[in-house]
């Protein structure tokens, strides 16, 4: 079976090749420049998508040459029920992401884009655990850890639809996050990172929906 990280990379590469099919005609479509404000109103979709509360906002600028630098900030609380057997786990903190998109318009209303980002999260986690044995007395405990950090890269593909003469854009994005570094523990390792997701693998696919306001 093909490794998941390889299959995701292959998919993104195929989308990049497919986008070049439209590049020739799209060069005749003007791109409106201006500052943009971003609100994420969708829930992060990872392998398990039912454990996160997240608020993400951002700002960027769309240039006529189709490049679009962005800065996004957010806060998140993750409480995955499957993190610790016979226990609880909670991770919360803030994060930021900075990157660059390249827009490829299909027509005057719909656009496609490719992008790359770098992200960083500062957070804390806590949990409880219980060890049950038929031979030994039951043992339980808890932990609370602060000043944790993680960094990662993101590769994204997305699409946007312009409304109200281009001042409002509804969009969706799919991508993969690739962990660069993170705090680790030998006893009950970090299970989830705000802004990134679960840490079971070095890659984490995701999808979001959002709304933009262009000034």
Please report, in tens digits, the pLDDT of each residue of the chain (215 residues total). Answer: 445 444 554 545 454 444 444 444 555 677 788 999 999 876 544 444 457 788 899 999 999 889 999 999 999 999 988 888 889 999 999 999 999 999 998 888 899 999 999 999 999 999 999 988 777 788 889 999 999 999 999 999 999 999 988 889 999 999 999 999 999 999 899 999 999 999 988 899 988 889 999 98
Nearest in space to 195 (alpha carbons), one of 88, 58, 66: 58
pLDDT of residue 42: 63
* pLDDT for the residue numbered 31: 76
pLDDT of residue 43: 56
Question: Given this model, what pLDDT does residue 190 score?
Answer: 96
- For 139, the domain range is 4-214
Helix (H) or strand (E) holding 21: helix 4-26
Q: Which helix (H) or strand (E) holds 141?
A: strand 139-163
DSSP symbol at 25: H
User: CATH number of the domain that 38 lies in?
Assistant: 2.40.160.20
State the total domains in the chain: 1
CB proximity list for 8: less than 8 A, separation 6 or greater: 176, 203, 205
Residues 150, 183: contact at Cβ < 8 Å? Answer: yes
Q: What is the pLDDT of residue 37?
A: 94
């Amino acid at each position: 079976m093909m490794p998941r990280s390889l299959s995701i990379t292959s998919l993104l590469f195929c989308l990049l090749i497919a986008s070049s099919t439209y590049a020739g005609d799209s060069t005749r479509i003007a791109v409106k420049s201006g500052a943009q404000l971003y609100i994420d109103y969708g829930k992060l979709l990872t392998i398990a998508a039912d454990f996160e509360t997240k608020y993400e906002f951002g700002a960027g600028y769309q240039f006529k040459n189709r490049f679009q630098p962005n800065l996004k900030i957010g806060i998140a609380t993750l409480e995955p029920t499957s993190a610790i057997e016979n226990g609880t786990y909670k991770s919360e903190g803030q994060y930021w992401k900075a990157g660059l998109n390249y827009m490829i318009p299909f027509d005057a209303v719909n656009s496609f884009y490719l992008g790359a980002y770098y992200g960083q999260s500062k957070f804390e986690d806590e949990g409880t655990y219980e060890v049950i044995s038929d031979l030994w007395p039951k043992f339980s405990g808890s932990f609370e850890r602060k000043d944790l950090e993680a960094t990662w890269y993101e590769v994204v593909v997305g699409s946007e639809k312009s409304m109200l003469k281009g001042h409002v854009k509804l969009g969706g994005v799919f991508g993969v996050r690739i962990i660069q570094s993170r705090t680790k523990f030998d006893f009950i390792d970090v299970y989830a990172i705000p802004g990134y997701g679960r840490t079971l693998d070095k890659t984490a696919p995701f999808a979001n929906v959002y709304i933009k306001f262009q000034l």
